[in-house]
């Protein structure tokens, strides 16, 4: 029983990470039709900024906030400076983000080396809490708590604010929103910056859970986030949340109860199954 509780909480922690990465990807895709590989770069950026700031100031929360701020700024800059200039050409936009990811990963490797860099996290984060007899690392609770908070905040932003309304309308039918005289481009920049900040948050949290940062951590998480986005439905925020929980739990259970590595394969099989029966994803409308 206690193992099951541990597996469930760890699985939910994984799901929380997937959700943080996937929700930004999904919104960016829904609104701009850009498959954003640079998301992986923002993730790495968040991890490394958190590491540098934590080292300099001694405060991990400050590091996380700094990482998010830097990523949001750089995200807004990427959108206005590069992506906007090739507006409408989806494939070149994807290529552009691929180039950014490759160049950024190489830059980080050139600057800090390819070895793991240990990150000093607060003591309470590495301790365990006993939940129904299972010793659960506190970092998992942090992941879940942050993801739930982000989910609620984003849901409120999308349904209660004016910009949220524009974003939702833009995902639904961008041409119509533009025709009504609303400048969607500002919403693009905003969503891109939010997505980058969430990716950086995920990157900093991954660094905290692993206790270290590495240049390649972005890409691995990015791939599972892609899978989550497709299963949930491209452009669907709630779909991403649902799929993240599904994928995180399934992966964790299978890796523990079946064989190590089988969870990752089962997730891909789940993806194939979803595509064969419901190509638009669980909560998606239709695929581009």
Partner 1 sequence: MTSQPTRVRSRTGGTAAGGGDGTTPRLRRGWPAAAVLVALAAVPVLPLHLPVVFTGPLDSPGVLHLLSLMCVMAAVAVTYDLLFGFTGLLSFGHGLYVALGMYTTAVVLNATDLGLVAALGAVVLVGLVVPLVLGAVCLRVSGIAFAMVTLAFAQAGAIFVIRDPFDLTGGELGLVLDYRKLPVWLVGVFNAEYRYWLALALLVVVVAAVRWALASRPGRVWLAIRDNEQRVAVLGLRPYTFKLLAFVLSSVLASLAGAVYALVVGGAHAEVIQPTFTLGLLVMVVLGGSGRAYGALVGGLVYTYLEHRLGDLSGSVQELPAVLRAPLMEPLLLLGVLFVLLVLFLPGGLVSVAGRGQPDPAGRIRAALRRWRAR
Which of 169, 219, 256, 282 contacts partner 1 by CB under 8 A? 219
Footprint of partner 1 on residues 133-172 (CB under 8 A)? none
Q: Is 125 exposed, middle or buried (0-12, 13-18, 19+ CB in 10 A)?
A: middle
CB of 265 to partner 1, least distance (A): 5
Which of 120, 128, 132, 287 contacts partner 1 by CB under 8 A? 287
Smaller CB separation from partner 1, 111 or 175: 111
Nearest 10 degrees: CA dihedral of 202, 41, 186, 61?
40
Which of 42, 48, 226, 253 contacts partner 1 by CB under 8 A? 226
What is the Cα gyration radius of the chain? Answer: 19
Binding mask 233-252 for partner 1 (x = CB under 8 A): -x------------------
User: Rounded distance, CA 49 to CA 199, Å?
Assistant: 12
Footprint of partner 1 on residues 64-123 (CB under 8 A)? 82, 85-86, 90-92, 94-96, 98-107, 109-111
For 106-133, the three-class secondary structure string (H helix, E strand, C coil) is: HHHHHHHCCCCEECCCCHHHHCEEEECC
CB of 269 to partner 1, least distance (A): 8
C-alpha distance from residue 55 to each of 12, 63, 72 (Å)? 29, 9, 21
CB of 15 to partner 1, least distance (A): 17
Smaller CB separation from partner 1, 47 or 233: 233
Buried b or exposed e, range 243-257, using 16+ CB within 10 angstroms? bbbbbbbbbbbbbbe
CB of 148 to partner 1, least distance (A): 26
Q: Is 42 helix (H, G, I), strand (E, B) or coil?
A: helix
CB of 91 to partner 1, least distance (A): 6
* Residues 6+ positions from 268 with CB-CB distance below 8 Å: 227
Which of 230, 242, 250, 283 contacts partner 1 by CB under 8 A? 230
Which of 33, 117, 174, 285 contacts partner 1 by CB under 8 A? 33
CB of 226 to partner 1, least distance (A): 5
Contact predicate 123/137, CB 8 Å: no
Smaller CB separation from partner 1, 159 or 286: 286
User: Rounded distance, CA 55 to CA 119, Å?
Assistant: 8
* Binding residues for partner 1 (CB under 8 A): 29, 33, 35, 37, 82, 85-86, 90-92, 94-96, 98-107, 109-111, 219, 223, 226-227, 229-230, 234, 259-262, 264-265, 268, 271-272, 275-276, 279, 287-288
């Amino acid at each position: 029983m206690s193992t099951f509780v541990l597996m469930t909480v760890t699985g939910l922690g994984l799901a929380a990470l997937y959700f943080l990465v996937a929700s930004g990807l999904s919104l960016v895709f829904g609104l701009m039709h850009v498959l954003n590989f640079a998301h992986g770069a923002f993730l790495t950026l968040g991890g490394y900024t958190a590491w540098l700031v934590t080292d300099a100031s001694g405060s991990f929360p400050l590091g996380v906030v700094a990482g998010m701020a830097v990523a949001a700024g750089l995200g807004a800059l990427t959108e206005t400076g590069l992506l906007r200039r090739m507006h409408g050409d989806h494939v070149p936009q994807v290529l552009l983000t691929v180039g950014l990811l490759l160049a950024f990963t190489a830059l980080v490797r050139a600057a800090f080396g390819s070895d793991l860099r240990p990150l000093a996290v607060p003591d309470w984060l590495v301790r365990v809490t006993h939940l129904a007899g299972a010793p659960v690392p506190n970092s998992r609770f942090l992941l879940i708590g942050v993801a739930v908070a982000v989910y609620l905040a984003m849901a409120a932003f999308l349904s209660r604010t004016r910009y949220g309304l524009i974003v939702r309308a833009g995902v639904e039918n961008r041409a119509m929103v533009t025709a009504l005289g609303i400048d969607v481009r500002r919403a693009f920049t905003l969503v891109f910056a939010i997505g980058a900040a969430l990716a950086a948050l995920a990157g900093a949290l991954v660094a905290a859970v692993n206790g270290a940062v590495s240049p390649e951590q972005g890409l691995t998480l990015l791939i599972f986030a892609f899978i989550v986005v497709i299963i949930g439905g491209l452009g669907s925020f709630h779909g991403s949340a649902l799929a993240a929980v599904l994928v995180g739990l399934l992966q964790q259970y299978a890796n523990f109860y079946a064989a190590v590595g089988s969870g990752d394969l089962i997730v891909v099989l789940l993806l194939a199954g979803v595509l064969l029966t419901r190509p638009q994803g669980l909560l998606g409308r239709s695929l581009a």
